Structure 1
Amino acid sequence: MAWRGNLSKGIKELRFLFCQTSPASSQTRDFVIKNYADLKTKNPKLPILIRECSGVEPQIWARYDMGVERCVRLDGLTAEQINAKLEEMAKAG
């Protein structure tokens, strides 16, 4: 997972959106709880925002250069699949 240390090279901001209580967001909540510290340690200057809102679909937003943003829906994905989506977003930057 060497790509985790390079997140801040292409991504300017990373946002996780999910519901605090819904079963659809449970995998995303678990992913954030288990991986936030590692992501932040490897990318200390990268803003990683956690947005919790009742009833929202779980998703990741990445902001790149020139204000370009990309969203990936995470509904029903496992932690490994979320990790793969995050890796795709990192490589797209």
Structure 2
Amino acid sequence: MSFTKAFSPAVREVRILLSQTGAASAGTRQFILSKYPVIKQHNPDLPVMIREATGTPARAFARFERGVEKHVELDNLSAAEVETKVGQLLTS
């Protein structure tokens, strides 16, 4: 998915959890470094929260209208794979 446009208005919040030093979260850290500025540029009012904690498995959560929440596991994925998974999550 390309993050060069605004997300659906149904997306209310995005949360990304990861370990700040763990090898399994390396792809997620790289995704954040490269895509977070673009996501915020096109969705300035959307809360995008990044939570780091040692030993936490990399995951992304999206909250939609009416409190519906979905998540995907991101452990041991490359930055490109994380981008694909997050894109699928946000369009589901």
TM-score by length of 1: 0.90
**Number of matched residues?**
92
**Structure 1's 2 and 81: CA in aligned 2 closer, same or farther, altered over 3 A?**
closer
TM-score by length of 2: 0.90
Report the counterpart of residue 56 of structure 2 in structure 1: 56
Report the counterpart of residue 29 of structure 2 in structure 1: 29
Report the counterpart of residue 45 of structure 2 in structure 1: 45
Cα displacement string for residues 70-90 of structure 1 (whole angstroms, at most 9, x for unaligned residues): 110001111111111111112
* Other structure's SS at 1:5 match: coil
Equivalent-residue separation in structure 1 for 2:24 and 2:61 (angstroms):
17
Task: Give 1:3 deviation, angstroms.
Answer: 5.6
Alignment gaps of 5+ in structure 1: none
In percent, how many aligned pairs have the same letter? 36
State the one-letter code of the partner of 1:42. H
State the one-letter code of the partner of 1:20. Q
Report the counterpart of residue 90 of structure 1 in structure 2: 90
**Structure 1's 57 and 2: CA in aligned 2 closer, same or farther, altered over 3 A?**
closer
Equivalent-residue separation in structure 1 for 2:90 and 2:4 (angstroms):
8
Task: Give 1:49 deviation, angstroms.
Answer: 0.3
Task: Give 1:43 deviation, angstroms.
Answer: 0.5
* Other structure's SS at 1:25 match: helix
Whether the aligned pair in 2 keeps the contact of 1:6 and 1:90 (CA below 8 Å) is no
Alignment gaps of 5+ in structure 2: none
* Other structure's SS at 1:12 match: strand
State the one-letter code of the partner of 2:32. V
Whether the aligned pair in 2 keeps the contact of 1:8 and 1:45 (CA below 8 Å) is no
Equivalent-residue separation in structure 1 for 2:6 and 2:39 (angstroms):
10
* Other structure's SS at 2:40 match: helix
